[in-house]
C-alpha cells in the first residue's frame, strides 16, 4: 500500500471483490460456523486485561509486545518509548524485503508524540545542554539516545542508527565502567530512557531568534442562523470563563497565550481590546479579496490585563448582531486574516473558527454545492472527497509556514463541503467538530465540553517531526493531520495530545537479527511559553527470518489503524470498489501466508488465524462498513468526508473503539460496585428485550431500551412509571437521587473522560425509527447500507484462504 495509490489486487488473487452476502460467495459450500466459536473481540480484550491489567510494563526489552490499548497498565520507561507514544503493527520486523512482500503485513508505527501521560507515571525529563545544544551523530543527525555505543574509554561513540563513529565532545566526556557503560548512565535521561526532551538552541529557531508565546484567535460567524439558534450568545458566555483556563506552563501563575477576536459574515469585524480602553473598538474590513489586519496594537492581548474590555466585548457581540438578516458567509478570508494577524505579531497560534454554512459570498475560496449523490458507486465518486485546491491549498502552506493551526467548529443545517472547508484544519494539526442542526438545548452541552477541552489541552506549536531509522529500512509514508513539503519532514502547525501520525516503513536492505530495527522520532516544537524544544521518542524492535515471529508479535489494533488511514487516503485516487477489494485481498493474503508457512497442517475446511490476529477480520469487516467506505446514496457526503478526516488523525485507541464499539449491559449491573460492567459482543443477538444497553464508539453514545424493560428500572432512570410513558422524541437522562441513576451517570462520565471528544447521549427505544442509528454500530451484523456480517466475512476469507493455498 505504498504512496497514495494502494497496490492493486495481486496476481493469483481471486477475481472480483468481496460480494454483498453469502448468496454470491465463491469457493466450496460452507459448513455453518457456530457464532460462539468464532473469535470474540470482547474475550481478547478481557483476557489481556486479566493477564496484564494493573501491572507495570517495563520498557527495557527490545521488541516486546505491549498490553492492548484497552488494558489498564502503568508504564515504566527503561530505554524504549512508552506504547502511549509509539505502537507498531508488529514488534518483530521480517529481516528481508522478500519476506515482507511474502506476508503482506504492513510495517508501520503509530506515533502520538504528545500523548497524555497518566498522573501515576513520570512526566518527560527535560535535558539542557546549554549553548552547545543536543549531541547528535555527525552523519545521520540522530540525537543521543540509549542505542549509542560508547568506546575507546568513553572518548568516542558508535551511532546505533548509521554505525558512524563520532568523537564525544569534551564537555560531554565520561569514563566507562567495566561493562563499557558510562558511569553517568542513570543520571542522564538521554542515555537511559526511551523518551525525553532537549531544550533547543537558537539554531533550531526561525531566523535564529527565540519564538514569542503563541496566540489564540476566536473567529465567530455572526450570520443569521448562528444568531437565531443562540449559538453566538452561548460562545460569548462560555469564553468569559474559558479564557481563565488557557494552558499554562508548569508552575506558572497565568497563561502567556495572547487572545484576539473577530466576528464575520460577508465582511470581517476586528476588535481592539487594549486594556487602556473604556470600550472595545470595532474595525471593519469589507474588501475580503485583499485581506489585511486593520490594527496591530490592541488586537492580540493578555486576557488578565484586558479582562474588563474583553468581557465587555463578549457581552456586546450578541446584541450588536441581534437584528441581522445576513445569511451569506465567507470562509477563506477568515483564515487569511488569522494568519496575517499571527504574522504581524511574529508568533504561532491557533484559530478557533465557529462556522455554519457553505461560503457562497463573493470572495476568494467561494464554494458552490457539489454534493451529487448520483456519483456514488461510480468512478467519479472519489471527486466528492477531493478538496477544491487553489485558494485553500495556498492557505494551508501559509498556515504551516506561520505555525497557524486551524480548529473548525461546524454547525451545518445542510451541505457545507467538509472535504474542502476541512482541508486546512486537517493539514495544520487542527481538529474538526460538527454539530448538525444545532440547537442550544440539544447540542449545547456537547459543544461546550468540546470547546473547553480543545482550549485547555496540552499542545505544541510550529512543529516539525522526523523519523530516523537504523540501516536496512526507512520511513516511506506518513498519514495524519500533517503537511509534507518533502518526503522526510512532517510539518504540523500544532500538535496536541490527541493527534497521531501513522508512519509506514519499507526495507532498503537486509536487517540484522542481532542488532534489530531501531527508530527515533524527533519532534521540534514551540511550547506555550515560547520555548523551542526537541521531544525524542526511541523504539527498538526485533528482526527475524522466521515469519512465525512476525505474526506472533503483531498488534491487531495498530494494523487496523494503518489500514484505515491508507484506505482513506487511497479513496481520493481510486474507485471505492477497488479500495475495498484491495483491503479484502490483503487480509486474505496475510492470513493465507500464515496458514501456509507458520501453522501446523490442518483440514482445508478449518479457518486458521494467528493468535495475535485472530480478531483482525472483525475489525477489517467493520472498516469496510464505515460510512466513508460503504458508498450508499442514503449517507450524507459531508458525514462521510467528516469521518474520513477524523480517522486520519486518530491514534490506535481511537480507531480501536470506533471500529469495535463497546456494548455494555446495564440492566444486570451491580450498583454497589465501581466497575463498568463487562461489554458483550457487538451484535443484535446479544441484546435482550428486557435489557438496557449502553453503546459507545468514541464519537457517539446510545442508551438502548428493550421493549420489555422492567418498569422499576425505567422509574429509577427516567422518573416515569413505564417505557410507554417515555416520548420517542428528544428523550434525556435526568440525574435522579437513586443508586441506579447514580451508577449509570458515573459510567457515562468515566467513559467520557477516556475519549477525545464529547459524545451526546442518544436514547433509543427498541423498534423505534431512531433505532436504525444505533443498529449501524452493531458491527458483527450485516451492514444497514451494505456490507457482510462478521460470520459471512469469515466464511469468505476462509474460502479465499483455501484458494490461495
Question: Which pLDDT belongs to residue 731?
Answer: 80
How far is the C-alpha of 201 from the C-alpha of 211, rounded, in Å? 11
pLDDT value for 32: 60
Pairing of strands 74-76, 56-58: parallel
Distance CA 484, CA 465 (A): 10
What pLDDT, on the 0 to 100 scale, is given for residue 30?
A: 47
CB-based contacts of 461, cutoff 8 Å, min separation 6 = 214, 348, 349, 350, 403, 405, 493, 494, 525, 526, 528
- DSSP labels for 633-651? TTS-HHHHHHHHHHHHT--
CA angle 313, 316, 319 (to 5 degrees): 155
Give dist(CA 314, CA 236) in Å, integer: 5
pLDDT score, position 41: 97
Predicted confidence at residue 33, as pLDDT, reads 65
H or E segment at 259?
strand 258-264
Name residue, grid cell 502511549: 84
Q: What is the mean pLDDT of each run of 10 residues along the chain (805 residues)?
A: 41 34 38 76 97 97 97 97 98 97 96 96 96 96 97 97 97 95 96 97 90 96 97 98 92 92 97 96 94 92 96 97 96 97 96 97 96 93 94 97 98 97 97 96 94 95 97 96 92 97 97 96 96 97 96 98 98 95 94 90 80 96 96 91 97 98 94 91 95 96 95 93 82 91 94 92 92 94 92 89 77
pLDDT number for residue 730: 67
Strand partners, 433: 409
Say whether 284 sits in a helix, a strand or coil: strand
Q: Are 413 and 434 in contact (CB under 8 A)?
A: no
Longest Cα–Cα distance in the chain: 85
pLDDT at res. 624: 97
What are the beta bridge partners of residue 765? 705
Residues in contact with 801: Cβ distance below 8 Å, sequence separation at least 6, in sequence order: 588, 591, 592, 595, 607, 608
- Paired residues of 408 in beta bridges: 353, 432
Say if residues 603 and 31 touch (Cβ distance below 8 Å): no
- Alpha helices of 539-575 — where are they, by DSSP H? 547-552, 556-570
What radius of gyration, in Å, describes the C-alpha atoms of the chain?
Answer: 27
Contacts with 85 (C-beta within 8 Å, 6 or more apart), sequence order: 111, 112, 113, 115, 195, 521, 537
Q: Which helix (H) or strand (E) holds 703?
A: strand 701-705
Q: How far apart are CA 664 and CA 673, in angstroms?
A: 15
| Torsion-angle region of 56 (φ positive above 0: left; ψ -120 to 50: alpha; else: beta) | beta
| 199 touches 533 (CB < 8 A) | yes
Find out whether 694 and 666 touch, Cβ atoms under 8 Å: yes
Q: What pLDDT is attached to residue 622?
A: 97
In which residue are the cell numbers 494503518 written? 562
C-alpha of 398 from chain center: 24
Per-residue confidence (pLDDT) for residue 2, from 0 to 100: 36
Amino acid at each position: 500500500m505504498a504512496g497514495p495509490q494502494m497496490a492493486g489486487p495481486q496476481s493469483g488473487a481471486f477475481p472480483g471483490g468481496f460480494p454483498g452476502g453469502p448468496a454470491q460467495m465463491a469457493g466450496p459450500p460452507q459448513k455453518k460456523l457456530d457464532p460462539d466459536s468464532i473469535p470474540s473481540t470482547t474475550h481478547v480484550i478481557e483476557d489481556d486485561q486479566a493477564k496484564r491489567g494493573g501491572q507495570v510494563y517495563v520498557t527495557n526489552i527490545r521488541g516486546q509486545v505491549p498490553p492492548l490499548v484497552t488494558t489498564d497498565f502503568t508504564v515504566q520507561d527503561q530505554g524504549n518509548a512508552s506504547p502511549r507514544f509509539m505502537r507498531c503493527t508488529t514488534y518483530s520486523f521480517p529481516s528481508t524485503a522478500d519476506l515482507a512482500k511474502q506476508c503482506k503485513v504492513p510495517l508501520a508505527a503509530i506515533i502520538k508524540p504528545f500523548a497524555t501521560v497518566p498522573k501515576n507515571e513520570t512526566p518527560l525529563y527535560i535535558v539542557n545542554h546549554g549553548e552547545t545544544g543536543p549531541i547528535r551523530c555527525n552523519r545521520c543527525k540522530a540525537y543521543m539516545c540509549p542505542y549509542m555505543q560508547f568506546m575507546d574509554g568513553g572518548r568516542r561513540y558508535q551511532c546505533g542508527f548509521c554505525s558512524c563513529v563520532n568523537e564525544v565532545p569534551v564537555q560531554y566526556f565520561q569514563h566507562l565502567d567495566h561493562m563499557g557503560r558510562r558511569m553517568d548512565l542513570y543520571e542522564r535521561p538521554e542515555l537511559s530512557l526511551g523518551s525525553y526532551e532537549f531544550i533547543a538552541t537558537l539554531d533550531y529557531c526561525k531566523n535564529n531568534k527565540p519564538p514569542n508565546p503563541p496566540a489564540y484567535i476566536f473567529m465567530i460567524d455572526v450570520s443569521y442562523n448562528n444568531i437565531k439558534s443562540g449559538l453566538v450568545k452561548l460562545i460569548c458566555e462560555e469564553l468569559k470563563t474559558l479564557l481563565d483556563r488557557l494552558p499554562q506552563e508548569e508552575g506558572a501563575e497565568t497563561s502567556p497565550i495572547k487572545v484576539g477576536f473577530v466576528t464575520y459574515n460577508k465582511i470581517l469585524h476586528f476588535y481592539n481590546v487594549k486594556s487602556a480602553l473604556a470600550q472595545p473598538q470595532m474595525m471593519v474590513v469589507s474588501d475580503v479579496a485583499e485581506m489585511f489586519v486593520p490594527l496591530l496594537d490592541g488586537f492580540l492581548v493578555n486576557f488578565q490585563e484586558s479582562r474588563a474590555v474583553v468581557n465587555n466585548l463578549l457581552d456586546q457581540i450578541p446584541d450588536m448582531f441581534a437584528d441581522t438578516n445576513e445569511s451569506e458567509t465567507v470562509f477563506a478570508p477568515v483564515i487569511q486574516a488569522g494568519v496575517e494577524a499571527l504574522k504581524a505579531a511574529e508568533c504561532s497560534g491557533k484559530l478557533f473558527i465557529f462556522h455554519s454554512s457553505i461560503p457562497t459570498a463573493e470572495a476568494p475560496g467561494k464554494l458552490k454545492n457539489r454534493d451529487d449523490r448520483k456519483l456514488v458507486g461510480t468512478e467519479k465518486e472519489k471527486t466528492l472527497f477531493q478538496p477544491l485546491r487553489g485558494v485553500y491549498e495556498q492557505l494551508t502552506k501559509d498556515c504551516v509556514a506561520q505555525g497557524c493551526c486551524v480548529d473548525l467548529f461546524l454547525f451545518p443545517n445542510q451541505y457545507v463541503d467538509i472535504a474542502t472547508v476541512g482541508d486546512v484544519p486537517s493539514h495544520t494539526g487542527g481538529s474538526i467538530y460538527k454539530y448538525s442542526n444545532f440547537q442550544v438545548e440539544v447540542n449545547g452541552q456537547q459543544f461546550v465540553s468540546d470547546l473547553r477541552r480543545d482550549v485547555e489541552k496540552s499542545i505544541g506549536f510550529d512543529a516539525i517531526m522526523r523519523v530516523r531509522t537504523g540501516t536496512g529500512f526507512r520511513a516511506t509514508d506518513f498519514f495524519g493531520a500533517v503537511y509534507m513539503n518533502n518526503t522526510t519532514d512532517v510539518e504540523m502547525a500544532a500538535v496536541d495530545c490527541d493527534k497521531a501520525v501513522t508512519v509506514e516503513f519499507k526495507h532498503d536492505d537486509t536487517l540484522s537479527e542481532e542488532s534489530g530495527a531501531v527508530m527515533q522520532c524527533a519532534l521540534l516544537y514551540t511550547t506555550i511559553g515560547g520555548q523551542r524544544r526537541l521531544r525524542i521518542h526511541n523504539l527498538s524492535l526485533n528482526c527475524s527470518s522466521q515469519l512465525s515471529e512476525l505474526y506472533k508479535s503483531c498488534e491487531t489494533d495498530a494494523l487496523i489503524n494503518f489500514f484505515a488511514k491508507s484506505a482513506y487516503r487511497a479513496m481520493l485516487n481510486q474507485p471505492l470498489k477497488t479500495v475495498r477489494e484491495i483491503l479484502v485481498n490483503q487480509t486474505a493474503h496475510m492470513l493465507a501466508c500464515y496458514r501456509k508457512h507458520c501453522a501446523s497442517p490442518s483440514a482445508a475446511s478449518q479457518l486458521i488465524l494467528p493468535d495475535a490476529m485472530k480478531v483482525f477480520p472483525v475489525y477489517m469487516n467493520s472498516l469496510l462498513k464505515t460510512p466513508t467506505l460503504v458508498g450508499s446514496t442514503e449517507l450524507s457526503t459531508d458525514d462521510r468526508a467528516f469521518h474520513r478526516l477524523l480517522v486520519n488523525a486518530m491514534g490506535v485507541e481511537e480507531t480501536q473503539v470506533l471500529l469495535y464499539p463497546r456494548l455494555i449491559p446495564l440492566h444486570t449491573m451491580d450498583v454497589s460496585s465501581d466497575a463498568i460492567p463487562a461489554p458483550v459482543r457487538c451484535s443484535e443477538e446479544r441484546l435482550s428485550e428486557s435489557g438496557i444497553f449502553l453503546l459507545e464508539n468514541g464519537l457517539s453514545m446510545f442508551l438502548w431500551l428493550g421493549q420489555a424493560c422492567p418498569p422499576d428500572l425505567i422509574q429509577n432512570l427516567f422518573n416515569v412509571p413505564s417505557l410507554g410513558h417515555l416520548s420517542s422524541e428528544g428523550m434525556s437522562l435526568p440525574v435522579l437521587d437513586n443508586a441506579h441513576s447514580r451508577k449509570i451517570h458515573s459510567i457515562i462520565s468515566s467513559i467520557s473522560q477516556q475519549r477525545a471528544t464529547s459524545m451526546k447521549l442518544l436514547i433509543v427505544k427498541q423498534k423505534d425509527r431512531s433505532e436504525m442509528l444505533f443498529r449501524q454500530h452493531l458491527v458483527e451484523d450485516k451492514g444497514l447500507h451494505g456490507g457482510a456480517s462478521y460470520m459471512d466475512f469469515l466464511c469468505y476469507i476462509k474460502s479465499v484462504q483455501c484458494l490461495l493455498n
